[in-house]
């Protein structure tokens, strides 16, 4: 911890430009937070006279009584909804079965995810200074894009299609990938070091001929990639019952304290009562289910965690990265489930030494919850 703080202090001392950028950004974000807090307070005051129809959003039932009243007023749920419930129940039972198998393997002192080849554990050649640089560049880009799109929305009051924040998210995701690759290139690293790889070596006596070595290497790589994707999917089924239990407890606690968490901006778009363009839906799904998980796994597991592990070790690095991973989602209500998900993703990366299994788990998680909101919209609007 002391070494980490000393290195950060030395970085800001030697790199004055980044220090001034940090100070300017902090002052700007404090001012923005103060203005948003003032606006939020005035909106809460005015919201008491605004009906749900005026908000043009689908109301999601929070209490069991609301859910029962909603379903009692329906003639019958759609086939898509019924099959989704069946699939979700099957996923829960499959997760319980995988938990049973893993507990048996753990009791028998067996490896839960045996690797067909020796895994090559990668040590990050970059340090915390590069993480600080990328973080500063990312937030500076976010600030500039916020200002640009705010001015754009002020000048052009017509409704944009797709929503501006979706375009802004795309630019930020691409910028984050660029900054990470740019920061590690001076160490001779690249995107492969961020993703992680295997030590794929054929040590068997039946080595492939030289002319076919490339084709065989590609075939082995494809098999390993599919294996990592399956491990990520299987791990998500394992944690799904625990994750659902945590959400149930959170909803119960929120209802007990009469707390209604604010929805995510993307969820607000999906739950609008008006018909959305298919391109907007496709664009939002690609951001939420593909590009978003890819960028988050590249940063938190492929870039940040290996650098932090050099200072804190495995356990502390897992906790720190999971905490920041939950914090950037800006939701106190869902902090604990996302923190738990971050711990699982960091553990999976530590075991597999690459992020492909983490990406597949993250993609499946986002796809399931986005599908849930579409089902809620389909049921509530009938």
pLDDT in tens, 16-61: 888 888 888 888 878 877 776 666 555 445 544 444 444 455 555 5
Q: Do residues 343 and 325 lie in contact, with contact meaning Cβ atoms separated by under 8 Å?
A: no
Supply the pLDDT for residue 177.
92
pLDDT band at 301; cut points 50, 70, 90: very high
Residues 120-139 have pLDDT tens digits of 666 778 888 899 999 999 98
Residue 332 — very low, low, confident or very high, per pLDDT cuts 50/70/90?
A: confident
CB 121 within 8 A of CB 353: yes
**Lowest-pLDDT range, 178-182, 221-225, 283-287, 316-320?**
221-225
In this structure, the number of other CB atoms found within 10 A of the CB of residue 120 comes to 13
State pTM to two decimals.
0.82
Q: Which range, of 94-108, 145-159, 170-184, averages the lowest pLDDT?
A: 145-159
Is the pLDDT assigned to residue 214 strictly greater than 70? Answer: no
Average predicted confidence (pLDDT) for the chain: 77
Q: Is it the case that residue 148 has pLDDT exceeding 70?
A: yes
* Structure tokens belonging to residue 85: 């419930």
**Average pLDDT for 156-163:** 57
Sign of CA dihedral 129, 134, 135, 136: positive
Rg (C-alpha) for the chain, rounded Å, is 24
∠ CA 76-79-85, nearest 5°, is 95
Q: What is the pLDDT of residue 361?
A: 95
Report which of residues 279 and 37 the model is more confident about. 279
Of the segments 30-34, 188-192, 359-363, which one has the largest average pLDDT value?
359-363
Higher pLDDT, 269 or 155: 155
Establish whether the linkage from the previous residue to 162 is cis, with ω within 30° of 0.
Answer: yes
| Backbone angles phi and psi of 57, in degrees to 5 | -125, 155
- Check whether 70 has a pLDDT greater than 50: yes
Q: What is the pLDDT of residue 239?
A: 92
Phi-psi region of 318 (alpha: psi -120 to 50; beta: other; left: phi over 0): alpha
- Secondary structure (3-state) at 188: coil
> In angstroms, what CA-CA distances link 1 with 6, 261, 279, 316, 320?
9, 35, 47, 10, 12
How large a percentage of the chain has pLDDT more than 70? Answer: 70
Query: Which residue pairs from 109-116 have beta carbons closer than 8 angstroms and sit at least 24 positions apart in sequence?
Result: 113/231, 113/351, 113/352, 115/198, 115/352, 116/224, 116/227
Which one, of 355, 334, 359, lies nearest residue 236 by Cα?
Answer: 359
């Amino acid at each position: 911890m002391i070494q980490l703080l000393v290195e950060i202090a030395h970085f800001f001392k030697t790199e004055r430009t980044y220090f001034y950028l940090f100070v300017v950004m902090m002052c700007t974000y404090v001012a923005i937070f103060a203005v948003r807090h003032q606006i939020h307070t005035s909106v809460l005051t005015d919201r008491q006279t605004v009906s749900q129809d005026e908000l043009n959003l689908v109301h999601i039932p929070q209490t069991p009584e609301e859910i029962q009243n909603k379903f009692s007023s329906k003639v019958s749920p759609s086939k898509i909804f019924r099959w989704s419930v069946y699939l979700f129940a099957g996923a829960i039972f499959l997760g319980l079965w995988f938990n049973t198998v893993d507990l048996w393997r753990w009791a028998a002192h067996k490896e839960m995810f045996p690797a067909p080849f020796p895994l090559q554990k990668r040590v990050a050649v970059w340090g915390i200074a590069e993480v600080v640089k990328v973080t500063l560049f990312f937030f500076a880009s976010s600030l500039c894009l916020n200002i640009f799109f705010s001015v754009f929305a002020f000048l052009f009051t017509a409704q944009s299609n797709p929503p501006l924040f979706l375009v802004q998210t795309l630019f930020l995701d691409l910028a984050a990938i660029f900054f990470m690759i740019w920061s590690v290139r001076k160490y001779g690293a690249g995107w492969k070091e961020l993703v992680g790889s295997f030590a794929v070596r054929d040590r068997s006596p039946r080595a492939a001929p030289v002319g076919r070595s490339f084709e065989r290497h590609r075939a082995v790589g494809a098999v390993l990639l599919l294996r990592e994707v399956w491990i990520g999917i299987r791990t998500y089924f394992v944690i799904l019952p625990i994750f659902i239990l945590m959400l149930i407890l959170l909803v119960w606690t929120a209802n007990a304290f009469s707390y209604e968490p604010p929805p995510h901006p993307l969820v607000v778009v999906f739950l609008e009562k008006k018909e959305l363009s298919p391109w907007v839906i496709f664009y939002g799904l690609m951001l939420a289910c593909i590009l978003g998980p890819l960028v988050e796994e590249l940063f938190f597991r492929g870039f940040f965690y290996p650098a932090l592990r050099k200072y804190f070790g495995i356990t502390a690095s897992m906790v720190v990265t999971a905490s920041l991973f939950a914090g950037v989602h800006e939701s106190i209500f869902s902090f604990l489930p996302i923190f738990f998900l971050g711990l699982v993703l960091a553990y999976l990366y530590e075991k597999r030494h690459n992020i492909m299994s983490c990406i597949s788990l993250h993609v499946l998680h986002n796809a399931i919850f986005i599908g849930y909101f579409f089902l809620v919209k389909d049921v509530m609007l009938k």
